[in-house]
Structure 1
Amino acid sequence: MSEMVDRDDSQQLVERVEQAREPGGRLTIIGQGSKHFMGCEPQGESLDTTDHCGVIEYEPGDLVLTARSGTPLVQIEQLLAQQGQCLGFEPPRFALNGSAAGTLGGAIASGLSGPRRPWAGAARDFVLGMTMVNGEAQRLHFGGQLIKNVAGFDLPRLMAGSMGTFGLILDISIRVLPVRPAAVTLQHVLPASEALAKMIEWQRQPLPLSGLVYGQGVLSVRLSGTAEGVLSAREIIGGDELNDAASWWDGLRDQTGTWFAEPGAVWRISCAAAA
């Protein structure tokens, strides 16, 4: 496990925002730079959040973690794995220099989620509380660290996907999930029309789905849950088991798979769930 650095750089960040209030002042919030390709062309001086890092509080029994915005996702996931837990929304860790990258603040600010989103929820659904700095250099705190304590306007969710336009995220409290005890990925070689029909059919059933994807003529289905539940669902779905499935889903999540090596733009389109 990589070393977890604990550093509170919040005061310096607030001061930078205060300085940027001068006429013509502009800031571009940046963590590890793994999502620089998203949004509009950056303008203004870089405001680096990577020195504001570390886990502030983690209660495995409450399934809640509070960390600073510059904390690397990889370190958070390693910490959670020690307790048999995970980030349920599977935030992409776009690679930099061949290694998985990204920070917690960047994951929430971008609002990106992974293959588990339709069943576990999006990034914004896991945010419980947040401390941020607005354009007036004021610290604001919303939400809480426990689900039962979260009240009032759900402003932390508004920050998810805002790309830093509403303010600078300092600290975030998120809900985490237990890792399911059993998982398997099954594949079928099907034409697109049949694959789509299967995907709709399976989503209408009480199956422990955690991933569905069709590409290059292959329909891949990930099942996650209890051993009994996964075994029962496997008998219904059938197909061939995918070896090294965890790495395959990581490639899809982080956009490093063979699909993403092809030229052209990648579109993300949100659609309604199967009726």
Structure 2
Amino acid sequence: MTVRAIDARRAAVLGSPIAHSLSPVLHRAAYRELGLADWSYDRFEVDEESLTGFLDGLGPEWAGLSLTMPLKRAVIPLLDGVTETAASVEAVNTVVVAEDGRRTGDNTDIPGMVAALRERGIEQVDSAAILGAGATASSALAALARICTGEVVAYVRSTERAAEMRQWGERLGVEVRTADWADAAEALRAPLVIATTPAGTTDALAGAVPERPATLFDVLYDPWPTDLAARWSAYGGAVVGGLDLLVHQAVLQVEQMTGRAPAPLDVMRKAGEHALAAR
């Protein structure tokens, strides 16, 4: 993949809604630390209908884009190619623009999850549980395909979602069993629990945290901590948060878009923590 040289000065995050995104904070902190004074990183409110027009309007100064919902799948037909990682879950959160204008999609959420867990000493687990069945859950399954040697139980609310998760498991080579959301408290005894649900969804589970919990990966970062994460920490369990994921996936984006590695992980994390504390 060819990355733009000195004239590659623009990047941005696209999505709808987008005002809450911490990506500009993280990427700008990286640019400052790397001495990329001429680089800028912005946010744009872009939905599925306006995505094509936005991409068509990109000039030669653009190096890359970060994508959030609802664009991660909508962008795929508009790209010149996607990596195997992105194709495996049919979701792109990173677009790198080459010197010749070629746009390649990647998914840094998956390796970002693996890196965030590895940072906390989680290299491998023999089983895991996933709370939820949306787009983030499929990325979680792809991450577990790299570190989980046994069964993954997905707790979902509908038979349709259950079928989707089993299909993703087959596609990704993960042994997936599905269970009803009403039994989600059982998930909390797994060696690794990945919560992929929207804010407030897992609050009712906080009272079911076992006395000696293992590891919780809660993908939310605002509000933080969630009720579940707070109770988990109070009981001495290891907690990986949404900011950990956001930072690790952003590190990979910065490296791909700028061609500079390693990206300053600690600097980016501190910038994110400061921004969240100010909200």
TM-score, normalised relative to structure 2: 0.27
Q: Give the structure with the higher percent helix.
A: 2
User: Who wins on radius of gyration, i.e. which is larger?
Assistant: 1
**Structure that is richer in strand per residue:** 1
TM-score normalised by length of structure 1: 0.28
